[in-house]
């Protein structure tokens, strides 16, 4: 069954709620993930996304998870695609397989080189930047190869705290606008912990002439180790002093740390909803408990005001 195009999802849901997973590498991890997915499926998210390892290192795992979600759940999966270590034919083949599987959307990212490839030469890649990948997907769409006449819905990344590779914030907005002008339908942001960064980013986008929907990326802290790893992966996530003080009070008590993280993320989401955010995208780290607690604390499950009336199923 063909999934919903992101433009239809955004039109039907006043505020989208979505979850992100990464493909499991072992059978045990897979079973744990599918158990968590079953819990989150009951929340009826607008869509879910599946990450893509550095340099396409989880290419097949990503594809397998996306197809399994499509075939065995009611979820609408959006696979990530990255530029690094890919030529045009590889991306063409991936898009064709997803179209045949009924996948209707993708998230186009720059991506990181694999860690096991030292001094990797990016000049050999067909796509130097995410905008090049967006243009290619748009061109593929225009060839009428997808069951939906519009082709794949295309998402791109935004960085409320600034892109680590672009110190010049004016250039950064120019690059983001170029991705939107090339065919991106929406923006999903990197995680952030201070909503003021998101609101300022949203306003700067508007001033730059970027008018597509912007979804806010939220990651609840569930452990100190996970927080440090995510700070490394996000290349510079900023942790407000108030949050650090609360975590310090929690000390080495894992449950206290998790309570602080869930409470902080809940208050972030509550404030975002009050400020008419178009969507909240939860980075779940393949867990379900924290996300479900936040979801239920916000009253989303019983709040029809956030869902478009008459959304088709």
Q: Which two tokens stand for residue 26?
A: 């072992």
- Residue 108, beta-bridge partner list: 81
**DSSP string covering 246-263:** HHHHHTT-HHHHHHHHHH
Determine how β-strand 105-109 pairs with β-strand 153-158: parallel
Residue with tokens 């609360």: 246
Q: What Cα–Cα distance (Å) separates residue 124 from each residue in 127, 138, 175, 179?
A: 9, 22, 21, 21
Per the CB < 8 A criterion, the answer to whether 55 and 48 are in contact is: no
- Residue 280, beta-bridge partner list: 17, 216
Residue with tokens 């995208």: 281
Per the CB < 8 A criterion, the answer to whether 204 and 162 are in contact is: no
Alpha-carbon distance of 226 to 221, in angstroms, equals 7
Longest dimension (CA), the chain: 57
List Cβ neighbours of 74 (8 Å cut-off, separation of 6 or more). 41, 44, 313
Alpha-carbon distance of 149 to 142, in angstroms, equals 8
For helices 254-274 and 195-207, the axis angle rounded to 10 degrees is: 30
Nearest to 179 by CA among 227, 127, 230: 127
Question: Is 219 strand, coil or helix?
Answer: coil
Active site amino acids: 20
């Amino acid at each position: 069954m063909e999934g919903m195009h992101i433009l239809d999802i955004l039109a039907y849901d006043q505020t989208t709620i979505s979850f992100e997973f990464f493909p499991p590498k072992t059978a045990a991890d897979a079973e744990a993930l599918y158990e968590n997915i079953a819990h989150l499926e009951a929340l009826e998210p607008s869509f879910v996304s599946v990450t893509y390892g550095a340099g396409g290192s989880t290419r097949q795992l990503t594809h397998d998870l996306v197809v399994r979600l499509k075939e065995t759940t009611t979820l609408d999966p959006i696979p990530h695609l990255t530029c690094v270590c890919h030529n045009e034919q590889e991306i063409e083949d991936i898009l064709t397989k997803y179209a045949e599987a009924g996948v209707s959307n993708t998230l186009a990212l720059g991506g990181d080189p694999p860690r096991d490839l030292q001094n990797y030469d990016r000049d050999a890649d067909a796509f130097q930047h995410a905008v090049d990948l967006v243009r290619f997907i748009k061109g593929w769409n225009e060839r009428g190869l997808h069951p939906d006449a519009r082709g794949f819905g295309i998402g791109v990344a935004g960085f409320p705290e600034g892109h680590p590779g672009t110190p010049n914030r004016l250039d950064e907005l120019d690059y983001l606008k170029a991705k939107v002008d090339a065919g991106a339908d929406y923006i999903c942001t990197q995680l952030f912990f201070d909503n003021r960064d998101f609101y300022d980013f949203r306003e700067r986008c508007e001033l730059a002439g970027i008018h597509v929907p912007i979804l806010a990326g939220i990651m609840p802290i569930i452990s100190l180790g996970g927080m440090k790893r995510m700070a490394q992966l996000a290349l510079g996530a900023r942790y407000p002093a108030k949050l650090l003080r609360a975590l310090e009070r929690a000390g080495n008590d894992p449950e206290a740390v998790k309570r602080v993280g869930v409470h902080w993320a809940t208050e972030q989401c509550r404030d975002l909803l009050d400020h008419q955010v178009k969507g909240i995208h939860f980075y779940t780290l393949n867990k379900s408990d924290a996300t479900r607690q936040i979801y239920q604390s916000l009253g989303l499950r019983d709040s029809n005001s956030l869902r478009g009336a008459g959304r088709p199923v």
